[in-house]
Structure 1
């Protein structure tokens, strides 16, 4: 083996070609021995020589260069895979962080909405309490002299002076159904009495001794009852609509 052309391994393909050449050579010898003349053309020898040259083993120096190139390619593939993994991890981390931020924002928004609702409800309660106190003060401060009789328009005028227009409408709806604005109306079955059909009628004595004959006294008692039990005449009317009584 010549110096500088030392090989590190035998090429598989070269080995295959060498084997084929050997088989051909043996065949030729056998043919001659048997009396059959076999002549190899110059083209065949040239092709065999060319194949042998092209498929020769890679010299050691070139083999090292190929190995370095292969290792470089493997490093590039591994680096690309690492970059892809890192990118996916970063994307997943960003997604989780965004989801967490969105959840935190939603919780903050829900908390703010709950606080706003609670504050609105508080203000509404204070408003209703102030209105009830105002109506109570009006009822206590207004004095209505007893008359021998009252028309429906007179009774309604008294009622309007004791409450807001909105509450009056609700109060009026109840009285329309309960007594038709007859302050002497009596239920023969239950004994309920007056504009708001108090049961028993004597309950209205807490608003005045003239509860049987003075519609103003009956209205005062009715408003006090509605405010205490339902919050307002409109609250009482809402209940009445669902139950047909209050």
Structure 2
């Protein structure tokens, strides 16, 4: 036997209803019911009667199978949507983790750079302090007078080599390397034009006549106030004083 579809089952049921109506019409003496209709109805009735109960079960089974297919398709769609949502959430989580890692790396690089710069500054300061200490303890034979070449030679022995040009630029503008230069209006005195001049006594009592004492004081002043002679020179260029 071939499998009967749900549609076929519905048609068979409708045929059975029509057959019953025809029989009732004959019984009631309805003249509109013809013999042909009765024959057709009888034929249909025979068709419905010929459907075994097993085939009717097959029809019901087919209907349940179709419902199962629909439910399976819906489940597949739900599962697919759930998988896509999970993938989207995982991608967002991965992106967030990557950004956090990149931020951490950037922060670490910034800290490393700051530490390196600070270490460089500390090394430079230690070098200046060492030069300052050695120059302070070092002795320069006192002379009755000094030429510009003499004063510059002393300065090269006291001022760090990488800072000498900046120191020299300031001295050139302030006194043209004249250790006895004095500003008549302000009283500023010496190579670096200390004001008041007596401040240079912290480097030595001979500050008026000894260029070495003036150079030591000037170097200490520039280091303390501007971190270096080059720092002092940068300020001087912007303000015409330091």
SS in 2 for 1:100: helix
Equivalent position of 1:167 in the other structure: 163
Give how far 1:219 is off. 0.5
- 5+ residue gaps, structure 2: 1-6, 19-39
Matched, 1:87 2:83: yes
Matched, 1:100 2:96: yes
The C-alpha deviation readout for 1:22-70, integer Å capped at 9, x for no partner, is xxxxxxxxxxxxxxxxxxxxxxxxxxx9xxx9xx999844532441342
**Which of 112, 116, 134 lines up with 2:130 in the alignment?**
134
Structure 1: distance between partners of 2:74 and 2:115: 61
Structure 2: distance between partners of 1:73 and 1:86: 20
**Counterparts of 1:1-246 in structure 2 under 5 Å?**
11=11, 60-61=56-57, 63-246=59-242
Cα RMSD after superposing both structures: 3.2
Equivalent position of 1:38 in the other structure: none
Equivalent position of 2:36 in the other structure: none
Residue pair 1:8, 1:60 contacting (<8 A) in 2 also: no
Structure 1: distance between partners of 2:185 and 2:70: 103
Give how far 1:8 is off. 9.2
Structure 2: distance between partners of 1:140 and 1:10: 118
Give how far 1:134 is off. 1.0
Give how far 1:145 is off. 2.3
More helix by share: 2
Give how far 1:181 is off. 1.1
Structure 2: distance between partners of 1:187 and 1:166: 29
Residue pair 2:182, 2:190 contacting (<8 A) in 1 also: yes
Give how far 1:228 is off. 1.6
State the TM-score, normalizing by the size of structure 2.
0.73
Give how far 1:168 is off. 0.7
State the TM-score, normalizing by the size of structure 1.
0.72
Tell me which stretches of 4 or more aligned residues in structure 1 moved more than 6 Å: 56-59
